[in-house]
Amino acid sequence: MRYTLHVNGRRHTVDVDSDTPLLWVLRDTIDLKGTKFGCGIGLCGACTVHLDGAPARACLTAISDVGNKAVTTIEGIGATAIGARLQKAWLDVDVVQCGYCQPGQIMSAAALLAQNKMPSEGDIAAAMNGNICRCGTYNRIRDAIAQAAQSDFGAVPNKRKGA
């Protein structure tokens, strides 16, 4: 079956079986390898992408269910203000160990911050609990989200003219 996808602002036409999960279309057909395969049944969050800005598990999303929704992946999230801030915070805090789960972590965090500009610890835990980090970088994931949230949402930029 032929499907037209909108991924990170680009159109892709793919010819795949209708039950193919979005995960495998992204990875093997469009060759965007940042979205990761971890469990295949929506338990680990490594395949988290956004569909029209809402977080979705790409391993459970059949290509036939994507429709006209805009797909955003880790390769595209840096083009958004929230995504760029999160990627910077991830590096500032030095979150990464193996790095395999981190695309999914950042995508879940970006969806959280889009809904909730200043999440509490409880909000972070609720939004991020479905993303497993096997290396155990949770302390730094929490710190990085807090840093990205605080970095400049509604705040006065640091560079004040005439100061």
Partner 1 sequence: MVHTRLSPRASAIDVFTGNTSRRDFLKVSAAAGGGLLLSFALPGFAGAATGDAAVLNAYVRVTPDNVVTIMAKNPEIGQGVMTMLPMLIAEELDVDWSQVRIEQAIADHTIYGRQVAGGSMATPLEWDPLRQVGAAARAMLVNAAARRWKVKTGDCVTAHGEVTHTASGRTLTYGALASAAAKLPVPDLGSVKLKDPKDYTIIGHSIPGYESSKLVKGEPLFGIDMVVPGMLHAVFQKCPVFGGKVVSANLDAIRKLPGVRHAFVVEGGRDLTGLMPGVAILADSWWRADKARRQLEVKWEEGATRRQSSASFARQVKALRAKAPAHSLRHDGDAAAALKGAARVLETAYHYPFIAHAPLEPMNCTAHVRGRKVEIWAPTQNPEPGRSLVAQTLGVDADDITIHFRRSGGGFGRRLMNDYMVEAAWLSKVAGAPVKLVWNRTDDMQHDFYRPGGWHFLKGGLDASGKLIAWQQHFVSFGRNGRFALAAGMEDTIFPAGRVANLSVGYSLIPFGLPTGYLRAPGSNALAFVFQSFLDELAHAAGKDPLQFQIDLLGKDEMLPGRGSGFNTARARGVLEKVREVSDWGRRKLPPRTGEGVAFYYSHLGYFAEVVEAAVAHDGQVKINKVWAVGDIGSQVINPTAAVNMVQGAIIDGLGEALNQKITIENGRVVESNFDTFSPLLLKQAPPIEVHFIKSEHSPTGLGEPPLPPAIPALCNAIFAATGKRIRTLPIDPAALKA
Contact residues: partner 1, CB under 8 A: 16-17, 19-21, 24, 27-29, 31-41, 43-44, 46, 73-75, 78, 87, 90-91, 94-103, 106, 124-125, 128-129, 131-142
Sign of CA dihedral 13, 114, 131, 105: positive
User: Does residue 121 sit in helix, strand or coil?
Assistant: helix
Closest approach, Cβ 163 to partner 1, in A, equals 29
Nearer of residues 34 and 114 to partner 1, judged by Cβ? 34
Closest approach, Cβ 160 to partner 1, in A, equals 29
Nearer of residues 52 and 92 to partner 1, judged by Cβ? 92
User: Does residue 29 sit in helix, strand or coil?
Assistant: helix
- With residue 75 as reference, give the H or E element that holds it: helix 74-77
Closest approach, Cβ 112 to partner 1, in A, equals 12
Closest approach, Cβ 35 to partner 1, in A, equals 7
Nearer of residues 117 and 134 to partner 1, judged by Cβ? 134
SS (H, E, C) 126-155: HHHCCCCCCCCCHHHHHHHHHHHHHHHCCC
Token reading at 110 = 């970006």
Nearer of residues 31 and 160 to partner 1, judged by Cβ? 31
Nearer of residues 138 and 157 to partner 1, judged by Cβ? 138
The beta strand positions in 16-130, using DSSP E, are: 48-51, 54-57, 70-72
Phi, psi of 67 (to 5 degrees): 60, -135
User: Does residue 157 sit in helix, strand or coil?
Assistant: coil
Closest approach, Cβ 70 to partner 1, in A, equals 17
